[in-house]
């Protein structure tokens, strides 16, 4: 019979917190990417939907960073198999989210403020071209974070 020592209980709580943080990050990213954003762009014109999504982005990135930091801290207190692999994935996901939050999103937001309207500004306009590149970088980063989250859920 196993003993329920304070350290084993703490490890169990940390493992549960780790799983909860990973699930919260993955679920939030999937919800935002695959459900909320498409609904907004179907329900509003492009400028309005873009404004709403742009308003939500800082909170979205803070959520990801918070969940990632909690998962990383809990991982080191939990008895989890493949801890190094999990830590590596979490660190990569945190790095991608940090780049999105502190570099890509602020640049994209600044460009968006310079574009009078995505409805009337031609797609080949230099600002739209720059914005599209940043959007592409952000979208790839977002899919990588979701992929990392799926890997963490499946592997651990």
The pLDDT of residue 62 is 97
- Residue 136's pLDDT is 97
pLDDT at 65: 98
- Residue 33: DSSP 8-state: I
Question: Residue 79's pLDDT is what?
Answer: 81
Is 1 a domain residue? no
What pLDDT was estimated at residue 123?
Answer: 95
Q: What are the φ and ψ backbone dihedral angles of 67, each rounded to 5 degrees?
A: -60, -40
Instruction: Burial-class residue 97 by CB neighbours within 10 Å (0-12, 13-18, 19+).
Output: buried
Q: What is the pLDDT of residue 142?
A: 97
Range(s) of the domain holding residue 133: 6-155
Please report, to the nearest 10 degrees, the dihedral formed by the alpha carbons of residues 149, 151, 154, 155 taken in order.
Answer: -120
What is each CA distance from 80 to 15, 17, 23, 33, 60, in whole angstroms? 7, 12, 16, 29, 27
pLDDT, position 2: 55
Q: Is there a domain that residue 136 lies in?
A: yes
Tokens of 103: 């570099």
Q: How many domains in the chain? A: 1
**pLDDT score recorded for residue 107:** 97
Residue 23 lies in a domain: yes
Per-residue pLDDT at 81: 80
All residue ranges of the chain with pLDDT < 70 are 1-6
pLDDT of 80: 77
Q: Enumerate the H helices of the chain as residue ranges.
A: 6-30, 37-43, 46-77, 83-99, 105-114, 126-155
Q: Specify if 99 maps to a domain.
A: yes
The pLDDT value recorded for residue 97 is 98
């Amino acid at each position: 019979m196993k003993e329920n020592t304070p350290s084993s209980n703490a490890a169990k709580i940390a493992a549960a917190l780790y799983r909860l943080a990973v699930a919260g990050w993955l679920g939030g990213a999937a919800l935002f990417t695959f459900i909320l954003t498409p609904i907004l762009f179907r329900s509003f014109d492009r400028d309005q939907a873009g404004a709403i999504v742009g308003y939500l982005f800082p909170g979205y990135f803070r959520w990801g960073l918070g969940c990632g930091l909690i998962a990383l801290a809990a991982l080191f207190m939990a008895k989890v198999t493949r801890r190094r692999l999990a830590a590596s994935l979490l660190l990569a996901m945190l790095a991608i989210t940090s780049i999105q939050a502190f570099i890509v999103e602020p640049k994209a937001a600044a460009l968006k403020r310079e574009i009078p309207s995505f409805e009337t500004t031609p797609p080949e306009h230099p600002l739209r071209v720059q914005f599209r590149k940043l959007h592409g970088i952000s979208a790839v980063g977002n899919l990588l974070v979701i992929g990392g989250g799926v890997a963490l859920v499946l592997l651990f």
